[in-house]
Amino acid sequence: MALIGPSGRPIAAAKQDNGAAAPAGGAYVKDGSIETFAADVIDASREVPVIVDFWAPWCGPCKQLGPALEKAVNAAAGAVRMVKINIDENPEIAQQLRIKSIPTVYAFKDGQPVDGFQGALPESQVRAFVAQLAGGHGGADHAAEVLAAADEAFAAGDVAMAAQAYGHVLQDEPGHPKAVAGLARCYLKSGDLERARATLQLVRPDGAGDEAMRAVEAELLLAESAGKASGDEAPLRAKLEADPKDHQARYDLALALDAKGEREGALDELLEIVRRDRKWNDEAARKHLVTLFEAMGPADPRTLAARRKLSSILFS
């Protein structure tokens, strides 16, 4: 990185001014300048990743992003550090790194920029960005933080960010069941069932029974079933109106509803089959309910409600 200082020399040769780099927001965050950039960013990133936040006092989004970055960096407890560069006071750095808008964030590792983004991000995505960059530092506790950030990114709809974070955990801990499950879930979300299926095979032997793994395996089965189901509800509802005992039509309707994301409707139709004829088709409706419960997880309110209804039907 050949940044040029005010003297015309590369700033890698500039002398560090410790007094100009006081902490800005915690032990792992400091203000930087053209004079300290080499020491605070380029040299420091050879030991631990360094995030550089380019901002200015007049920038509204910067006031939203900066505190979120500082919070995430301080929570990483040394696994990553942060340097804040006020572009009004340091226009040379902004010009040489071609900063065209702020906030802009660069991540440095081993003396080179390796990642970055522009604009303010939701706090969950900021945490995922920091956790991903800090991959490999902090052991089991850090892996848990990365997974939590990945889960939040997935829930926020940022599947790409979530997949990267799950992938970082797998680089450090091959076969980690929750990371394997999370990455497979990302492929499922994007509709790539084949890669989801292949990803599940990466789990280490002792993780095959993990709750997250079972949930994704169940979701994969459901996605495969949905692929075989008709997407048109109208003919199925017409069949049921003509014959409420047409259990195959009701079963197909449940699959079609679930494929559209209407899981509660699917649960209701399957429960109705069990109520009418619990033994139908080798208990297909009850078995599919169990798969749905597995996919949603035991604590999901929909699971709890449907289980109560199923128990009431089976034991009444």
Check 59, 65, 72, 82 and give the catalytic one.
59
> SS3 for 174?
coil
> SS3 for 175?
coil
DSSP 84: E
Q: What is the CA radius of gyration of the chain?
A: 26
The span from the CA of 27 to the CA of 25, in Å, is 7
The span from the CA of 261 to the CA of 161, in Å, is 23
Q: What is the DSSP string of 6-47?
A: TTSSBGGGSPP-GGG--BSSSTTEEE--TTTHIIIIIIGGGT
Closest CA to 223 of 273, 271, 280, 295: 295
Decide if 186 is catalytic. no
For residue 310, the surrounding DSSP H or E stretch is helix 301-314
β-partners of residue 106 are 52, 116
Q: Kind of pairing, strands 50-55 and 104-109?
A: antiparallel
Check 44, 52, 62, 184 and give the catalytic one.
62
**Amino acid at residue number 201:** Q
Q: Which residues contact 159 (CB under 8 A, 6 or more apart)?
A: 153, 186, 189, 190
Q: What is the DSSP string of 42-95?
A: IIGGGTS-EEEEEE-TT-HHHHHHHHHHHHHHHHTTTSSEEEEEETTT-HHHHH
Assess contact for 37 and 3: CB atoms under 8 A.
Answer: yes
> SS3 for 278?
coil
Q: Which residues does the annotation mark as catalytic?
A: 59, 62
